[in-house]
A and B are shown apart, each in its own frame.
Chain A
Amino acid sequence: MGHGKSPYLRYADPEPFPILNKHSHYDHLFEEMHELEEKGEILVYRITEENKPVEVFTRTGRIKTVPTAKLWHHKSCGQCGNIPGYPASIFWFMNKFGYDYLNEPHQTSCTAWNYHGSGTSNPVALAAVWLRNMHQAWKTGYYPLIHCGTSFGSYKETREQLIFNKELRDAVKPILKKLGRLTEDGRIVIPQEVVHYSEWVHAVRHKIAELYEKEGKAKGIDVSNVRVAIHNACHTWKMMADDYPYDPEVYNGQRPAASTAVVKALGAQVVDYSTWYDCCGFGFRHILTEREFTRSFAIQRKLKVIAEEIKADLIVTHDTGCTTTFEKNQWIGKAHGMYHPVAVMSDVMFAALACGAHPFKVVQLYWNCSNYEPLLEKMGITNWKELRKEWEDTVKHIAELEKEGKYDELMEFFKEYDLYEPYSRTSDGFKRRRSASADMPLFKS
C-alpha cells in the first residue's frame, strides 16, 4: 500500500505480523527524501530492476526493497582485516548466483567505529565520508551493499540526520563540491535504501537453501543436527531500529529476522536462549583498550549462558565486532574455569560452508581462534584436515613465489585462484591503481 506521494514509502497490507510502531518518525524520512528530490536538492540513487530487488518488511510494516544484484561492495575494515572469510563468502555466493558486482579500492571505511570508540569526528565529517562513498557507488552504476553493521547503523543515522537537517546538508555540500562528489547539477547523492549484507543474505535465503540441497548435500554436508544460537548485532537492529527486516516466520515478526531466517531455511536448529537481546561486549574502544570488560561481558552474559542453557554448536552472527568478540574471548576463560568453547561465524560463512565452499580458501577459518573443528565434523566436512593442508601448501607456494620475486607468476596464480573473475572488477584496472599503503606486489606495477 502506498503512503502519500513518496514512491519510497510503502506499507504491507494486510499487516504481516503484529506491529507496535506504526508510521514511525523514522519512516517519515522517506516522504521528506522524496520532497527533497522533487525540489532538486538531492538525487535519490534508486534501486532498479537491474538490481533484482526483493521486498522484505521492517518492524513498522514498511516494505523495504533489498537489491540483490549489480552491487557495489562497501567492505568492512574489521571483516577484511580480521575475518577475511566473511567478505570472501559473500563474493563466493554472488559468483555462484552469477550476480554482477564491483569490489574496488576507491572506498574508505565509514570511520564510525572510530567515532563510537573515541569521539574523534563529528556528524559533518561522517556525512561527508558516507556521501563520498555513495557518490563513488553511484558513479559506477553499482548499488551499495554495506558489509559492516556499524557502517550500516551509522549510515542509516547519517541519512536521517541529513534528510531532517538542512544545516547539516548545507555544511556538507561545499566539502563534497570540493571533492567533485556532487552531481553535475550540484545535488547530493543519497541511496533509496541503506542495505546491509545480512539483509541481502535474508533476501536470497531460499536460493542459498537450494544451493545447499544441490551442492552441499552432494558433498555429504548435513546441517540438520547443528544447534545454532543467533546473536543479532546492536548496530543493525537497535540503532535506527525501524530499518531492519522482520518476518512472520521468525518469532512472528517480534525479533529481527535476518540470520535466523537463513539458518532456518538451511534446516539447522535455531535454539533460543535467555540473553539473546544482549550486546556482545565489543564496545568499540573496549575490545582494544578495556578488554577485561569485553571478555567479562562476552563470557558471563553470552558464552556461559549459551553453553549452559542450550549447548549450541555454533553462534551465528552478522557483524564484525560480535564475531571477533565471541571467538577471541573464549580461551582466556580457562583462567577462571569459565571455558565454554563454541564455534563462531557469521551467517554467510556458515551458509557458504553448508553449500560446500572451501573452509579455508573461501571461508578462511584459519584466522578463527575458536574451536570450529567439531562443527565441521558435525556438518559432515570430515576431510577438513586435508583441506587445511591444501590451503597451507597454497600459502607456502605464494610465499616462495614472492621470495623469489616471481611477481608475474604470482599474478598468473591469482588469476586462477581468486574469486573475482568474471564478476568482480575494479573500476579502472590494475595499472592505474595506486595504494595508500602500497605493501603488496600486486600494486607495484
Chain B
Amino acid sequence: MEGHPYGYNIPISEKTKEVPWEEKVRVYEEVKSDFRFKEFLFGCLNCGVCTASCPSNRFFDYSPREIVQRFLEEDVEVIYDMMHEYIWACSQCFTCWIRCPFVNNPGGLVIIMREVAVRNAFEATKDLLKPYGRVLLKVMTTGNQLSADMLQPDFFPDWGPKMQDNMENIRAKRMAIPFDVGKSVKTAWEVSLETAIEMYTIWRETGIFEMLEKLDPNLYNVIMDIVEENEERWEELMEEEEEE
C-alpha cells in the first residue's frame, strides 16, 4: 500500500515491505495484547481535535488521529511501519487524551508501541535512542534520571552563556544547596545504596535489563559493570556489619 486515501500518506518503507507478513502480525498482536490497549482505544469520529492540538504535529509529520485510525482499521502494515520512526515524534503530553470526546488515548497507544519497538530491538529504535544513552545509564544505575554532571555546557551551547558560568566550580555550588541529600554532583540527590540495590532487583525481575541488552549491548555491559560493582559493595558492607 502506498499511503492512504485520506490522511496518512507516508509511503511504507522498503524495509517494512521486506518483513514477512507473519512477523508484522506478530508485532501488531504484541501491541494489542497489552492490558492497557483496551483502555486506550475506543470509537473515533475522525474529528481531528487531537491532531489540531498536538504539539508534535506542528513540527513533525505526526498525527495522533492517524494512530487511532490505523488501529481501528487494523492496518497491520502501517502500524508496523509507524513503530520505526513515526511514533518517536510524540511529545507524550497527552493533550490528545484530555481533548478526545471518546477518551481515546493516542499518547498511551504510542507508549505501548514504543515499548514493543524497544523489546523487539528495531534498528530505527536503536539509532534513535543512541544519544539518549546517558540518561539510561544514569537511571538504571543510580535511580535518578538527571544529575548536575550530565548538564555539560558543551553539550548545551544553545542554552546560553549563563549555562557556562553555572557549571564552574560545580562541586562547591552543589554543596551550597541547603539540604543534605541534595549535595550531589553525580545524582540529583544522594540515593542510598540499598535503594539502588532494590531497584536492580526490579530491573532484573521485570526484564528491563534484557530490553537494554537488545537495545544497546555496549551500554548494557557498562551498566552491568556498575550494577555488579555496587552489588558487591553492598554485600561487603553487609558482611562488615555482621562482623561488627
Contact = CB atoms under 8 A, between A and B. Distances in A.
A229 B183 CA distance: 32
Contacts of A179: 198, 201-202
A239 B97 contact: yes
B95 A234 contact: yes
A196 interface: no
A108 B202 CA distance: 12
Given A81-B150, A122-B208, A106 B194 contact: yes
Contacts of B181: 75, 103-105, 426
User: Which of B158, B185, B207 is the most central at the interface, judged by chain A CB atoms within 10 Å of its CB?
Assistant: B158
Interface in A298-352: 301, 328-332
B162 A369 contact: yes
A163 B198 CA distance: 24
Contacts of A113: 135, 139, 145-146
B230 interface: yes
Contacts of A367: 166
Contacts of B132: 117-118, 285, 288-289
Residues of B in contact with A, size category: 35 or more
A235 B94 contact: yes
Contact of B206 (A75, A103, A105, A122): A122
B144 A81 contact: yes
User: Which of A168, A239, A366 is the most central at the interface, judged by chain B CB atoms within 10 Å of its CB?
Assistant: A239
B207 A122 contact: yes
B237 interface: yes
Given A77-B146, A239-B97, A175 B205 contact: yes
A424 B211 CA distance: 38
Contacts of B88: 285
Interface stretch (B1-9, B13-21, B55-63, B69-77): B55-63
A74 B235 CA distance: 27
B205 A178 contact: yes
A414 B183 CA distance: 11
Interface in B184-221: 184-196, 198-199, 201-203, 205-208, 211-212, 215
A43 to B, nearest CB: 19
Contacts of A109: 139, 143-145, 188
A239 B94 CA distance: 6
The prevalent SS among residues of B at the interface is helix
Contact of A418 (B91, B179, B190): B179
Contacts of A281: 55, 91
A269 interface: no
User: Which of B39, B91, B185 is the most central at the interface, judged by chain A CB atoms within 10 Å of its CB?
Assistant: B91
B201 A440 contact: no
A82 interface: yes
A231 to B, nearest CB: 12
A36 interface: no
User: Which of A283, A366, A440 is the most central at the interface, judged by chain B CB atoms within 10 Å of its CB?
Assistant: A440
Contact of B178 (A122, A167, A289, A418): A418
Contacts of A119: 111, 114-115, 117-118, 125
B109 to A, nearest CB: 12
User: Which of A109, A114, A120 is the most central at the interface, judged by chain B CB atoms within 10 Å of its CB?
Assistant: A120
Contact of A436 (B98, B174, B185, B195): B195
A295 B201 contact: no
A272 interface: no
A246 B179 CA distance: 32
Contact of A120 (B53, B58, B131, B208): B208
Given A106-B194, A106-B195, A433-B192, A128 B206 contact: yes
A295 B148 contact: no
A395 B111 contact: no
Interface in B145-187: 145-148, 150-151, 156, 158-163, 166, 169, 171-187
A369 B166 contact: yes
A121 interface: yes
B177 A88 contact: yes
User: Which of B160, B188, B205 is the most central at the interface, judged by chain A CB atoms within 10 Å of its CB?
Assistant: B188
Interface stretch (A44-52, A214-222, A377-385, A396-404): A396-404
29 contacts: A77-B188, A81-B187, A84-B182, A105-B192, A113-B145, A118-B132, A119-B115, A120-B115, A120-B215, A121-B208, A122-B208, A136-B195, A178-B201, A234-B93, A235-B93, A238-B95, A279-B91, A285-B132, A288-B131, A288-B135, A293-B56, A297-B59, A328-B156, A328-B160, A395-B173, A414-B180, A435-B184, A439-B184, A443-B190
Q: Which 7 A-B pairs have the closest CB atoms?
A: A119-B114, A331-B160, A108-B143, A81-B188, A399-B172, A80-B188, A436-B196
Interface of B: 35-36, 39, 53, 55-56, 58-60, 88, 91-95, 97-98, 111, 114-115, 117-118, 125, 129, 131-132, 135-136, 139, 141-148, 150-151, 156, 158-163, 166, 169, 171-196, 198-199, 201-203, 205-208, 211-212, 215, 230, 237
Given A119-B115, A174-B205, A284-B92, 8 more contacts: A82-B148, A108-B144, A289-B132, A362-B178, A369-B166, A399-B172, A414-B183, A440-B190
